[in-house]
Structure 1
Amino acid sequence: MSVSAFTPQIHTPLTMKPKIKHRQKQKPKSFSLSTTPITQASFSDPFVLQLAETLEDSLSPSVSLQKLRDSSSESLLSTSWPSRKDEPFRFTDTSFIRHSQIIPITKPPQLDYLPSINGNTLLPNIVIADGFVLNSMSKVSTLPDGVYVGGLLSDSSDRIAKRVLEFVGDFEWGDLFWSVNGLGTPVMTVVYVPAGVKVDNPIHFKYVSVEGGEEGSKKLPVSNPRVFVVVEEGGEVGIIEEFMSKEGNDDKRYWANPVLEVVIGKGAKVRHSYVQSQSLNSAHIKWTAVRQGPQMKQQFSLYGGHHHCSKDKIHHSFLVICS
Structure 2
Amino acid sequence: MSAVMEPGEHYCVDFERLRGKLPGARTPWVRRRREAALARFVERGFPTTRDEAWKYTDASAIARRVFAPAPAATLVPAPQALELFRIEGLDCHRLVFLDGRLAPELSDVGALPPGVIAGGLARILEEAPDSLEDRLGCCAGDEDNGFAVLNTAFMTDGIYLYLPAGVALDRPVHVLHLSTGAGDGAVIHTRNLVVAEAGSRAVLIETYAGL
TM-score exceeds 0.5: yes
Instruction: Quote how far apart the aligned CAs of 1:167 are.
Output: 1.8
Would the alpha carbon gap of residues 52 and 88 (structure 1) be closer, same or farther in structure 2, given more than 3 Å must change? farther
Q: 2:153 aligns with which of 180, 183, 188?
A: 183
Q: Does 1:198 align with 2:158?
A: no
Q: Deviations over 1:246-296 (max 9, x none)?
A: 1xxxxxxxxxxxxxxxxxxxxxxxxxxxxxxxxxxxxxxxxxxxxxxxxxx
3-state SS of paired residue (1:126): strand
CA contact (8 A) 1:126 1:205 kept: yes
CA contact (8 A) 2:7 2:66 kept: no
The equivalent of 2:52 in structure 1 is: 87
3-state SS of paired residue (1:58): helix
Instruction: Quote how far apart the aligned CAs of 1:144 are.
Output: 1.9
User: Pairwise mapping of residues 163-242 of structure 1 onto structure 2 (< 5 A)?
Assistant: 163-170=131-138, 172-174=141-143, 175-213=145-183, 219-242=184-207
Instruction: Quote how far apart the aligned CAs of 1:169 are.
Output: 4.3
CA contact (8 A) 2:38 2:149 kept: yes
The equivalent of 2:14 in structure 1 is: 54
The equivalent of 1:289 in structure 2 is: none
CA contact (8 A) 2:159 2:193 kept: yes
CA contact (8 A) 2:125 2:132 kept: no
3-state SS of paired residue (1:226): coil
The equivalent of 2:61 in structure 1 is: 96
How many matched pairs? 193
User: Pairwise mapping of residues 32-71 of structure 1 onto structure 2 (< 5 A)?
Assistant: 46-59=6-19, 60-61=21-22, 62-64=25-27, 65-71=30-36
CA contact (8 A) 1:132 1:187 kept: yes
Q: Does 1:143 align with 2:112?
A: yes
The equivalent of 1:154 in structure 2 is: 126
Q: Tell me how far apart the structure 2 counterparts of residues 166 and 90 of structure 1 sit (CA, whole Å).
A: 32
CA RMSD of aligned residues (A): 2.7
Q: What's the TM-score once normalised by structure 2's chain length? A: 0.77
- Percent identical: 22
3-state SS of paired residue (1:53): helix
Q: Tell me how far apart the structure 1 counterparts of residues 65 and 11 of structure 2 sit (CA, whole Å).
A: 11
Q: Does 1:107 align with 2:72?
A: yes
Q: What's the TM-score once normalised by structure 1's chain length? A: 0.53
Would the alpha carbon gap of residues 145 and 153 (structure 1) be closer, same or farther in structure 2, given more than 3 Å must change? same
Instruction: Quote how far apart the aligned CAs of 1:142 are.
Output: 3.2
CA contact (8 A) 1:193 1:232 kept: yes
Range that drifts further, 116-125 or 183-192: 116-125
Q: Which ranges in structure 2 are unaligned for 5 or more consecutive residues?
A: 1-5
User: Pairwise mapping of residues 242-281 of structure 1 onto structure 2 (< 5 A)?
Assistant: 242-246=207-211
The equivalent of 1:251 in structure 2 is: none
Q: Which ranges in structure 1 are unaligned for 5 or more consecutive residues?
A: 1-45, 214-218, 247-323
Structure in which a larger fraction of residues adopt strand: 1
Q: Deviations over 1:52-92 (max 9, x none)?
A: 43244234142354343133123223212322332322332
Structure in which a larger fraction of residues adopt helix: 2
Q: Tell me how far apart the structure 2 counterparts of residues 56 and 189 of structure 1 sit (CA, whole Å).
A: 25
Instruction: Quote how far apart the aligned CAs of 1:231 are.
Output: 1.0
3-state SS of paired residue (2:185): strand
